[in-house]
Structures are given as structure tokens and as C-alpha cells.
A and B are shown apart, each in its own frame.
Chain A
Amino acid sequence: MPLLHVERIAKSFGGIQALRGCTFDVDQGSVTGLIGPNGSGKTTMFNVITGYTHPESGLVKYHDATIQGQSPRTIFERGLGRTFQAPRIFGRLSLVENLKVPTRQGTSHEPSRHRSTEWAEEWLAFVGLAQHRQTMAGALSYGQRKLLEFAIVLAAEPDLVLLDEPAGGVNPSMIETMAHLITETNGRGVTFLVVEHNMGFVMSLCHHVVVMHQGQVIADGSPDAIQSNPAVLDAYLGD
């Protein structure tokens, strides 16, 4: 049984049909890539899964429970976290304070250690930001903000994390760091669904790839199979 099951999701904005009946699965313990040209509906799909946008029709199942239409808070409490294309951190809080913000209150998933400074510092050390622990997050560089946001989401110990362009807008060294962090966290049992344009990053990291084009899923398979899929090549290279 997949950890996340998306079935026939449709969403439109005015006259634009952003998602047209998308269906795919994310297996527990996997790193799954969600790729596609600009405007194919990847971020809208993320927003639907995480409750920031409600679909017009279709089904999203997480841990076999239906979650579409629920609030972002409820979905996060269930153990489904996400990052954003442009990192959204709390700029006027210190890094340690940022790490203490996420909460899964009211569930059995928030042990008291989540609230401790030691816990926050462990995660900052994990992403290499320990020396900036008391710095205001707004003073960080773009790449550092991506790392901080990654740590913020992971600090709540989610089962599934949706990463929106983790390698976007950062230098090659930081891309390597990010890939290493994802691999290591995945080894600890966290499942990832990754939207990314950097094909080298996706193909080397992901166990499974879903391809979207014009609001539809056009291919779904292993990285090798996806790279030789004519529909995918056509979508990326065009006529």
C-alpha cells in the first residue's frame, strides 16, 4: 500500500485547468521525483496535497486516510510536511527559535524533546547551520534559508516531506549538500516527494519519477525508464 495516493485530482483557476485528473502513488521509504516543464502543475499539486489549495474533484489518501480539503495544519499534524520553492522561514526569529516553531500538538507525534533547544541545535548541526544558531533567520543567504526550511520541516519528524525545488537557485556545492541530506534522512525512514528541474539531481536521487505536462501525469516509472520515454522527451523538447 502506498504512503500517498493521489487519484484523479482536478483543479482550475478561472479558465485555466491546472490539474486534469492526475493519479500517482508515493511508496513508503522512497524518494519520488515529480518533474515536468514550467506550468505543468507540479506546485499546484503540492498545494493540493498539503491543503493550501482545495481540489475540485479527486482523492488524496495519506496513510490510507482521505486528506484532501483538510487544512495545512491538520495535514502537517498527520506527519506530512513541505518546503516551498522560495524558502518560507521566520526572518525575525533566531535559527533556534525557527526550529522550535513546528508543532504537532494534540497528536501523539509531538514528544517534549521537539520543544527543547538541544533538539533544535541537533537539527541545525545536521544541516550545517549550528554556528548561526542565534542569528536572525532573515540574515541568512538564499541557500542557507533552504537548509533552514529543510531542518524546520524535519524537526517535527514527519513521515513524508514534499520538497519544492530543493536545488533551485543554489550553487553546485549546496546542491551536493542538499542531495546528501535528503539521502541521509531518507535512510532514517523519511519518504520524499521532490519537485525539481535539475535532471541530474532527480535522476541520481530518486527511486521513482512521475512526469507531469499540461496538468496531466504523462509518465510514471524508474529514472531509467523515464529518460527514454518518448512522451517525456516530447514534453521537454517540444515539437
Chain B
Amino acid sequence: MKRKRVQAAMMVAAVIVAAVFPLVVSNAAIDSVAIFTLMYVAMASAWNILGGFTGYVSLGHASFFGVGAYAFTILCHVWHVPGGWITFAMLPVAGVVAALIAIPFGWVALRTRKHTFVVITIAYLFIFQLLAYNLTGLTNGSAGLGSPIPSWTGSFFNIPFFYVALALALIVIAVAAWIRSSRLGLHLLAIRDDEDRALGLGIKTGRLKLSAFVIAALFIAMAGALYAYYITYVYPPFAMNPLDDLAMALMSFTGGVGTIAGPIIGALLVEPSQQYFTVAFQSGLNLVTYGGLFLVVILLIPRGLWPTLRDFVASRQSRQRVPQAPAAETSVLSSEGGGQ
């Protein structure tokens, strides 16, 4: 209970800091990094609903980022939605379009498991990228499409995007936390541990996995739509970027895959570092840091920062309580000698 109160207090403090951030920091470049970081908080948290809760590591959900970006831009053109505040209402519309497209793709991919699933999702990314290049009537091909131009400019330009990105991140985190605490989340975690056993205990594994796949696609697509509006342009290699897939997975694994806090911590650490390395050093060094960080995480903290830190604190606390602990258990189990 105490731990939950501490976590809630930390979350409230983080939200307050985030809410005042653009008011305190008026540097446009830093605000831009903050917007991208919040987008990645949302994307990594959404990715974690599938990859972390069910154990199905998707390296293709960036395709739904692109679908969201294109759906937003194309629908704004078709429905003559001008740049302005109302344009943000198109984000959930783009998300729903991507979620509907994700259903058949998820249904097919989720008939496989483990490495095969990973490979199929990678293939999806390149299929969607090829479609974006070649469906020129819809996407304008390699020339890309212009998105609506926001009606505000100057030093205020970043502010609305910052708060919408923050709102999106908070919504995704809230949804992920709700799923984790619900029966749906429990069943997704059971699938992660032993899918066949979960099936044999009455769980509709196929339906639940597909739900996680589609929910992740929906929120990642909304981030894609926000991206398209922010940079006012959508272009195949940026919209369907394999590095976005690596980023979502890396952020989740760095912070703690399968936890709520993990993807948030991962995104807050990785994205600003990425932006810094991209600007400060020669081109390509940011990719080296991706690979290097992945190696460090997998080799040294395979469970991620948050669970490792949490267990470290818990073990310290339990060591301090040892003198007060009872000498021995008296249950039927205390005589059980079978080891693991």
C-alpha cells in the first residue's frame, strides 16, 4: 500500500512538472525534444500493452504510426479540415482507421508465436512502407503529402502540440494501468507466461491477444497523426520508420518491459539522449547508441531499470526487517523439501 502511495505521488509530481515545463522552458528546440519524448512515452506505453503484457514482441507497429499519419493527412484533405485547434479532433479518427486496419493484420500475425511473429511484424512494416511509396493516388508516393498548417506561429507554436502530446501520453498510461489491473490484463500476463496453459484454463487467448494488438495500434497511430500535424508533412521513410519500432521496444526494455512505469522511464531516458547525440555528434552515432544501449540492457539489466531498482529497494528493506522476522514457518509447507 505504501509503495502504491509513493508511486502515485511520483506520478502526480511528474505530471505537474510536465504541465509547467513549456511555461518555464521557452527554448523552442528543447520544447520540440519534449514533444517527441512525450510522443514516445505514449508509443512505448502502447507498444508495451502488446509486447510487455502478452510477450508478443512486435517490430512492425511503426507501420500503424505511419497509417495514423497518412489517415490524418488524407482525411484532412478529403474533409477539408483546416489547420487549427479542431484539427486535433482528427487524431482519434486516424487512430480508429489504423485500429480497423490492424484487425486483419493482427489476426494473421497472431496465428504465429515468438520469432515467427517478430519476423511477420517486420514484414508488415516494409509492406506498409511499400504501399505508401506505390499507392501514389492516395499517398502521393515518394513526394509525400502536406498536412494542414496550424493557425498559430512563432514562440507559441510548440505549446498546443506539447499539451496534446502530454494528454495523449497520460491517456495511454491510464489505459495501460487500467488494463494491467483488470481481468483482461491478468489474462494477457497469463498468456505471456504460458499461453497453452492459459488456453487450457478457459482463456480466449486469440481474442485477447488481438485486442492488445489493436489497442497498441490505435494509440501508436494517434501519435503518428500528431507527428504528421506537428511536422506538417508525411513521407514514407519517416512515417514507416524501422527505427521507431526499435525505439518502442528499446524504451520498454530499458525501463522495464511489462510494467507501467518502465516504458515511461525508458522513453524519458532514451529519446532526449537520442536527440542530443543526433545534434551533438556526427550522423549515425545515434544508431550506435541504440545498439549499445540494447546490449547493455539485455546483458546487465534484462528486466529493465524499474523492476531492478524496485527489487533492490525491496531487498534492502527486507534485510533491515530480518531481526523481527519469525524464526520458522509452521505450515504444512515447511516440511516440503523439493527444490526447484
Contact = CB atoms under 8 A, between A and B. Distances in A.
A159 interface: no
Interface residues of B, number: 29
Contacts of A143: 333, 336-338
Interface in B195-218: 196-205
A204 interface: no
A177 interface: yes
Interface stretch (A28-36, A57-65, A69-77): A69-77
Interface stretch (A100-108, A182-190, A195-203): A100-108
Interface in A124-141: 128-132, 140-141
A92 B185 CA distance: 13
B336 A173 contact: yes
B186 A177 contact: no
Nearest to B332: A128
Contacts of A130: 331
A170 B340 CA distance: 11
Contact of A52 (B196, B201, B335): B196
B338 A128 contact: no
Contact of A93 (B189, B203, B332, B333): B189
Given A76-B201, A129-B333, A131-B329, 16 more contacts: A72-B196, A89-B194, A90-B189, A92-B189, A92-B192, A97-B186, A100-B186, A101-B190, A103-B187, A128-B332, A131-B331, A142-B339, A153-B201, A169-B338, A171-B336, A174-B337
Closest 10 A-B residue pairs measured CB to CB?
A: A72-B200, A143-B338, A128-B332, A142-B338, A90-B193, A102-B201, A103-B202, A88-B197, A143-B336, A173-B335
Interface of B: 183, 186-187, 189-190, 192-194, 196-205, 258, 329, 331-333, 335-340
Interface of A: 50-52, 71-73, 76-77, 81-82, 84, 88-93, 97, 100-105, 115, 128-132, 140-144, 147, 152-153, 156, 169-171, 173-174, 177
